[in-house]
Amino acid sequence: MNASRIYGLAATVMMAATVLGGSAGSKALASDPVTFIVPWGAGGSSDTYARTLAASMRETLGREIVIVNKSGAAGTLGTALVAKAKPDGKTLGFSALAPYTMQPHLRKLSYDVDSFDYICEPFASPMALVVGEESKFNNIADIVEFAKANPGKLKYGSPGPGSLPHLAMVELGLRAGVEWTHLPAKGGDMGNVRNLLGGHIDMVPIQIVPVASNPIKPLAVFSEARLDELKDVPTIKELGYDVAHVIWGSLFAPKGTPKADLAKFEEACEKAVFSPAYEALLDKTKVPQLFKGQTETAEFARKESDKYKGLLEKAGMTKK
């Protein structure tokens, strides 16, 4: 056998090995489990949405999805793990907006809003500003009038500094030209409702579910339009203050994740949002059905990041 035939045969064998090896590698990737890192504790709203969404996405993808809760540092600990994970389609993040649109402006982090490829936005939960059922305040005008006459005396709650409820109240205070005191509480909405009913705070922005089941009264909603569940409750905007916020969340991947993987995840996410189990969760939590794909979610995330950066700068809260 001459040298040219030997080289030709060797090249053929190498090409076949490459094709076969690439095919085997793709099959292995397609069957590997996917990890959803949720940067909050088990049982919270982001965790509940993630687990319900994952149950349907498993069927579409034909891959196991493992939920891993990595809470800490206002959601930034787990979010940082997603940012530095290998972009191979095996690690995704699932969280409400604060860790990637707000926290990078509050503290020095290893990531920012552009450190991720956004896959979908599967929920957007509205908020209402509530007071105790026996409160002397019956509308926003009452609160603003009292706050102007008594700077800093009114106390409001939130899940913590840099959370959306916190920043919503910061902006409302700026727009109304008043000062009030922030007293965050552990335990999310229910922790703040307990503080409200115990007389430790005067008001708090919360999601809609606790409103009907607790002795509290909603004064206004932070949505762009009135809610079907609270038709008689005005929006903050209706009352003359250009303030609107909603607790939305997304499924995201480390920057540079293959486009083919992102497309598969996006398709699976959309199917999951319209699955019976997910629709039942939305109905239970009083959250409107919503789906945004890759492009729209990425654009919205950057827009929200710019919005909160500006708000934090006005409030003097940006990182030094």
100: in domain: yes
Q: Is residue 77 part of a domain?
A: yes
The reply to whether 89 and 40 lie within a common domain is: yes
Residues 224 and 143 in one domain: yes
* Separation between Cα atoms, residue 188 and residue 44, nearest integer Å: 8
In a domain, 23, yes or no: no
Which residues, other chains included, contact 150 with Cβ-Cβ below 8 Å and sequence gap of 6+? none
Mean pLDDT confidence for 185-206: 93
Considering the domain architecture, whether residues 227 and 170 belong to the same structural domain is answered as: yes
Does 294 have pLDDT greater than 60? Answer: yes
Is the confidence at residue 290, as pLDDT, over 60? yes
* Same domain for 264 and 186: no
145 with 55, same domain: the answer is no
Q: Which of 43 and 69 is assigned the larger pLDDT?
A: 69
Domain co-membership, 157 together with 195: yes
Residue 12 lies in a domain: no
Residues 183, 48 share a domain: no
Q: Is residue 1 part of a domain?
A: no
Q: Is residue 223 domain-resident?
A: yes
What pLDDT, on a 0 to 100 scale, did the predictor assign at position 31?
76
Residue 21 within a domain: no
pTM for this model (two decimals): 0.86
CA distances from 271 to 56, 57, 266, 275, 295 (A): 8, 8, 9, 6, 17
* Residue entry with tokens 């969404």: 53
Q: Is residue 56 part of a domain?
A: yes
Residue with tokens 């030094």: 320
Q: Does 20 have pLDDT greater than 70?
A: no
Task: Judge if 70 and 109 occupy the same domain.
Answer: yes
In the structure encoding, which two tokens stand for residue 286, read together?
Answer: 């009083």
Edge-to-edge strands, sheet with 34-38: 65-69, 34-38, 91-96, 247-254, 116-125
109 and 41, same structural domain? yes
Q: Are residues 84 and 133 in the same domain?
A: no
Choosing from 239, 262, 296, the residue where a domain stops is 239
Domain end position, chosen among 195, 222, 239: 239
Collapsed DSSP state (helix, strand, coil) of residue 221: strand
- CB neighbour burial string for 120-140, b if at least 16 within 10 angstroms, e if fewer: bbbbbbbbbbbbbeebebeeb
Average pLDDT over residues 192-221: 95
Local confidence band at 30 (pLDDT 50, 70, 90 cut-offs): low
Higher pLDDT, 17 or 89: 89
Q: Are residues 42 and 116 in the same domain?
A: yes
- What's the mean pLDDT when you consider all of the chain? 90
Question: What CATH number is given to the structural domain containing 87?
Answer: 3.40.190.150
Given this model, what pLDDT does residue 28 score? 37
Domain boundary among the residues 190, 213, 239 is at 239
CATH no. for residue 161? 3.40.190.10
Q: How many domains does one find in the chain?
A: 2
| CA-closest candidate to residue 120, choices 278, 303, 270 | 270
**Cα–Cα dist 200/35, whole Å:** 40
Coil, helix or strand for 157? coil
At 99-150, the pLDDT tens digits run 999 999 999 999 999 999 999 999 999 999 999 999 999 999 999 999 999 9
Residue 191's Cβ-count burial label (10 Å; 0-12, 13-18, 19+) is: middle
- Residues 133, 121 share a domain: no
Structural domain harbouring 132: 126-239
